[in-house]
Structure 1
Amino acid sequence: MTPKIVTVAAAVITRPDGSFLLGQRGEETFYTGYWEFPGGKVEPGETAHDAVIRELEEELAIKVHGARPWIVRRHLYEHAHVTLNFFEVYDWTGEPQPLVHSALAWQRADALEVGPMLPANGPILKALRLPRRFGVTHAHEIGVNAQLSALDTSLAVGLQAVVIREHALPPSTRQAFAREVVARCRAVGALAIVGGDAALAAEVGADGLQLTAAQLADASARPGFEWVGASCHTRAELERVAELELDYAVLGNVRATPTHPGKAGIGWEQFHALTRDLPMPVVAIGGLRESDMSDARGAGAHGIAAVRSIWGR
């Protein structure tokens, strides 16, 4: 029998401390006892955004005042082919009540205390572990010592992801610098990701690798790192990230930037259009500052990356 097609709106309801809400499926449902992100079917004539607002009122007795589109996952169950439109719900009123779930639990992606997760929801947990702010190093411009000093300051105030992108440094200097960045990130639990050099990433024990667009085009399989992303500029490149099941993409440039002189930015409207309905988080880059975070998230970005503005802050 051909599985039926179902479209679902699912909610990642977050609190200021970074925790999110999960519900345990009740009896007389598929996957009884499994945990899931709250939500439900999109009704005919209804948008996914409208559906998530309605479902959370029906399931949890809360009123949603702010929900951002995030990622779209597809999963083939025995009974249905499900498309899940995930929204980040960041503003609501009311205390969540288990009106349809057998239990509710506030959880953190890096310390999950309930299980098992509904299969379609499992990959979302890793996406929620991905930091919202990426600092991209430019020691080749400002000097190694200045970059390490800026790194220390940024890590001290909460930066959780660093991309080491230093092709212009001499090989021995680049390796020593990368080792130092990895050590300093590891000391505070931040991710250290090497840009465009898998051999260097493996040699210094980095947490991950970020492919260039050219490397993405040549890749036939996902590289063997815990975290793998790619720099993208087109929809086709973003879709290739999805095909390889990479963890994230970085898309830009959103605004004009010294890194790409003479190249106009795509702007938030085009960013949103390029990133619609993708199954992985997309980080925005290109002339961005901390003050751009709200606009970025509103356009569907997971967060922002910056080469200059993020350091020392």
Structure 2
Amino acid sequence: MASGIQRESSSPVRVVAAILVRADGHFLLACRPPGKPYPGYWEFPGGKIEANESGRDALARELHEELGITVIHATPWLTREFHYPHAAVNIQFYRVTQWLNEPTAREKQQLTWQSIKNITVSPLLPANQPILRSLALPSVYVISNASETGEVQSLEMIDSALQSDVKLLQVREKNMPSARLADFAMKILEKARHYQASVLINENIAMAQTLGADGVHLTSAQLLKAATRPAVNWCGASCHNEEELYQAASLGVDFVTLSPLYPTRSHPAMPTLGWQRFSTLIRNYPLPVYALGGMSMIDLDSAQEQGAQGVAFMRTLLHI
């Protein structure tokens, strides 16, 4: 949970874990050797954070000790708590995308590079299992905007985005009549399936289920009223503050958007977060977060440096 969101006091063991990601998208898993708890289980490399040590320092130390690598670039990602029979752990996950030296097993562990679409090893350490689902999410989340561009141009823009390897789309058309919305969404679904991309429908759970969409994106009002997670494959939610972030984590949605970072045409009077507030809200948060509001591809690196999954946008779709 984010530092301002956590509502229970506990003293779990603080741990850091690394998602080492190669340019081809494969990530590194290590098998725990005999003599350690859960021998034979696969995990993301890492270890305990020592007293007076930051997460980044622990990450660098552990990866050098275990794998013989020097971290060049790492960004914070998720923080999750897990209760094993012998201990509770608080795991800070980092995405590591640049390092020196080829990882080698320095502690008698086995190593393997895996693809999220084809995991060939098991069992995975229980605390790491939920991370695989989050790893399947892309760094860009595109939202439709036919109310401003018109349906024809919106579909052309979405087709162009899919050709540019966008893999996650949201159909969000607040003012479109239901029948037209269903037809518009089906056209997007047909395009997306050709590119193996996922499509979520904003707010309308029944339509998402009827059309066979990949999921639903809850409004913040829906989120606060929800008692259970909708029965869909992927569930996102719109958040703007600490209360909504807490509810999203409690409900168990797959990811959230947090907005607005900057002023937008659709919400011109809404107070903006800015990167400092955004970073504070998602620090130690358990779910992937997309930065939304005045975002474009040039903001992706900044968003991930603050701990975000990536960026979400609609009006800058032409500039992908």
TM-score by length of 1: 0.97
Query: Are 2:247 and 1:279 equivalent residues in the alignment?
Result: no
Q: Is the 8 A contact 2:157 2:317 kept in 1?
A: no
Instruction: Give the Cα separation in 2 of the matches to 1:270 and 1:5.
Output: 26
Of 19, 22, 29, 1:12 maps to: 19
Equivalent of 2:175 in 152, 168, 176? 168
1:103 lines up with 2:110 in the alignment: yes
Equivalent-residue separation in structure 1 for 2:108 and 2:146 (angstroms): 51
SS in 1 for 2:194: helix
Q: Secondary structure at the match of 2:317?
A: coil
Aligned to 1:216: 223
Partner amino acid, structure 1, of 2:36: T
Q: Provide the residue aligned with 2:205 in structure 1.
A: 198
**Other-structure match for 2:3:** none
| 1: CA distance, partners of 2:11 / 2:304 | 32
Secondary structure at 1:172 match in 2: helix
Paired residue type of 2:290: V
Task: State the Cα distance separating 1:49 from its structure 2 match.
Answer: 1.3
Q: How far has the Cα of 1:306 moved from its partner? A: 0.3
CA contact (8 A) 1:9 1:86 kept: yes
Which of 177, 182, 190 is the equivalent residue of 2:189?
182
C-alpha distance after superposition, 1:30-63 (max 9, x if no partner): 1111100000000111111110110000000000
TM superposition shift of 1:264: 4.1
Q: Which residue identity lines up with residue 277 of structure 1 in the other structure?
A: N
Q: Is the 8 A contact 1:73 1:84 kept in 2?
A: yes
Distance 2:151 2:138 in 1: 24
Deviations 1:206-246 (A, max 9, x none): 10111000000000011111111100000111111111111
- The ranges of structure 1 where at least 4 consecutive aligned residues each deviate by more than 4 angstroms after the TM superposition are none
- Number of aligned pairs? 311
Contact 1:4/1:80 (8 A) holds in 2: no
**Paired residue for 2:54, among 38, 47, 50?**
47
2:272 & 2:154 partners in 1: Cα distance?
26
Aligned counterpart, 2:314: 307
Paired residues of 1:151 and 1:312 also in contact (CA < 8 A): no
1:229 pairs with one of 236, 239, 248:
236
- Greater Cα offset, 96-105 or 189-198: 96-105
Unaligned runs of 5+ in 2: 1-9
Letter in structure 1 aligned against 2:181 = R
- Inter-partner Cα distance in structure 2 for 1:134 and 1:266: 19
The aligned amino acid for 1:266 is: L
Q: Does 1:73 align with 2:58?
A: no
The structure showing larger relative contact order (alpha-carbon pairs under 8 Å, at least 6 residues apart) is 2
Does structure 1 residue 93 correspond to structure 2 residue 100?
yes
Q: RMSD value over aligned CA atoms? A: 1.3
2:153 equivalent to 1:146: yes
Tell me how far 1:185 sits from its aligned partner. Answer: 0.7
Secondary structure, aligned partner of 1:120: coil
Q: 1:142 to 1:4 in 2, by over 3 A?
A: closer
Contact 1:11 1:88 in 2 (8 A): yes
- In structure 1, which of residues 249, 266, 279 is the aligned counterpart of residue 273 of structure 2? 266
Q: Which segments of 5 or more consecutive residues in structure 1 lack a partner in the other structure?
A: none
AA of the residue aligned to 1:216: L
Residue identity opposite 1:187 in structure 2: H
Equivalent in the alignment of 2:134: 127
Matched to 1:259, the amino acid is S
Matched to 2:170, the amino acid is V
Do the aligned residues in 1 keep the contact of 2:31 with 2:40 (CA within 8 Å)?
yes
Question: How far apart, CA to CA, are the structure 2 residues paired with 1:290 and 1:217?
Answer: 30
Q: Is the 8 A contact 1:255 1:287 kept in 2?
A: yes
